[in-house]
Amino acid sequence: MATHANYQKTYPISWEQLHRDAKALAWRLLGQHYFKGIIAITRGGLVPAAIVARELDIHLIDTVCVSSYDWKDKKGEADVLKGFAGDGEGWLLIDDLVDTGRTATIVKEMIPKAHFATIYAKPAGRSQVDTFITEVSQDTWILFPWDAESQFVQPLASTR
């Protein structure tokens, strides 16, 4: 995971917006495929997977767990903490965001036949995803609601 300081812009997402965008993802997937289950990429894919599962009436949910260490001493490494048995045929793979595509590449190698969907996609990783809702620029930090607290912020005009 890269640090917030490396980004030019911040795009804060509220719980309401995340819910709307996850529901829009489910709407886009509805009728395209039959999915026997969802595989959430932890941790970011857990909340979107729950919303999509509800909207698509899917009760079978599994996870894959990949931990990236860019913010620690192990720059560039990723550990698979929990994999998935099978090639993903008939499964829907969900994450909140595809950024550089590094995690997506690892997961797609493990589960090559799953349909991969994210809510948000950046240009560097977009080609890894089968379905997404919103594209954001590579230099944008997406601030998810589980990573933020409500607090006062200065108006844009006062930060110049």
Residues tagged active-site: 95-96, 99
- Rounded to the nearest angstrom, the gap between the alpha carbon of residue 8 and the centroid of all alpha carbons in its chain is 20
Q: Tell me the sheet residues that pair with 95.
A: 118
Alpha carbons 32 and 28: distance in angstroms, whole number: 8
Report the C-alpha gap between 160 and 155 in whole angstroms.
10
Prior bond to 54 cis, omega within 30? no
Look-up of token digits 């886009």 = 28
Q: Look-up: residue for tokens 């994450």?
A: 95
CA distances from 158 to 7, 137, 140, 150, 153 (A): 20, 24, 21, 19, 10
Torsion angles phi and psi, residue 133, rounded to 5 = -105, -50
